[in-house]
Amino acid sequence: MKTRTTIATAFLLAAIPALAGTTVPSLDEPQLTTTTDSGWRISTSMYIWTTRLDGDMTVKGTTAPVDVKFTDIFDNLDFSFMGLVEVGKGRWSFMTDLFYAKLSPSNTTPVARFDTEMEQFIGNFAVFYRLVETETTRLDCYGGVRANWIESDLNVQPTMGPALATSADESWVDPILGIRFHHDLTDRFFVRAVADVGGFDVSSKLTWQAMAAIGYRISENASAAIGYRALGIDYTDGGFNYDVTSHGLLLGLEYRF
């Protein structure tokens, strides 16, 4: 669902904010796994994504650069939550990956200063099918949606001219298609990779995600992973365009019980 957007979306940390995302959200396969007697698998994990933004956005013919550094995101974050749950049986599984953040970002350009209070939700909902499974390797394909919601209040102080106060309440949903890969290097170390693409002009012109990580099994039940994730969004609604890439280190803590 497309709605009219304001310049506040310049601070959309699509799948990010501070500890995100989403970019903007992670489709990383978790390791906290419980298998029931009926054959059902239940997995969950928590993660953080330290990221920065690169790109620009255009509102009513005015283009504003979006360049938020890693340290700035930490300063502007008020609250954030990230986590995912996956339930599966046999070759099929369903995953819900949720991200929520409350932010107070500020940005200054040669023409104005922008102060924003924003709440953001990003949810990835996907169905997975296992194409390949061996003792050390798993390859899945998946399809689903990436849902986005932003509510923001924006104050703009131009270098010349009167101040402006405005607000926005935006939501849209993008279809996504992707693949997920996992390989055990040893009994302790493993690698993972995720990639998807979506949008297809349904809402965004294009949305995409790529992630690669290496993990270590601390014990039979616990493991941790570190990697790099990037998420891009090119979203247009009337005279508004948001074309930003979020990227940075991804840290995950996993537990199998």
Model-level pTM? 0.78
Give the range among 10-19, 110-119, 184-193, 194-203 with minimum mean pLDDT: 10-19
pLDDT over 60 (residue 33): no
What SS3 state is found at 253?
Answer: strand
Cα–Cα distance measured from residue 197 to residue 209, given in angstroms and rounded to the nearest whole number: 6
Q: CB within 8 A of 20, min separation 6: which ones?
A: 13, 48, 49, 51, 80, 82, 99, 101, 246
Cα–Cα distance measured from residue 31 to residue 256, given in angstroms and rounded to the nearest whole number: 6
**What is the model's pLDDT at position 133?**
95
**What is the model's pLDDT at position 61?**
59
> What confidence tens digit (pLDDT) does each residue in 205-254 have?
999 999 999 999 998 878 899 999 888 889 888 777 778 787 888 888 88
**What is the model's pLDDT at position 186?**
96
For Cα atoms 5, 8, 46, give the angle at the middle one, nearest 5 degrees.
Answer: 105
Cα–Cα distance measured from residue 192 to residue 141, given in angstroms and rounded to the nearest whole number: 14
**What is the model's pLDDT at position 65?**
64
**What is the model's pLDDT at position 26?**
42
**What is the model's pLDDT at position 187?**
94
pLDDT over 80 (residue 90): yes
Instruction: Quickly list H helices, 102-192.
Output: none
pLDDT confidence bin for 27, thresholds 50/70/90: very low
Residue 154's nearest CA partner among 12, 14, 18, 7 is: 7
Q: Where are the domains of the chain?
A: 7-179+193-211+229-255
What SS3 state is found at 256?
Answer: coil
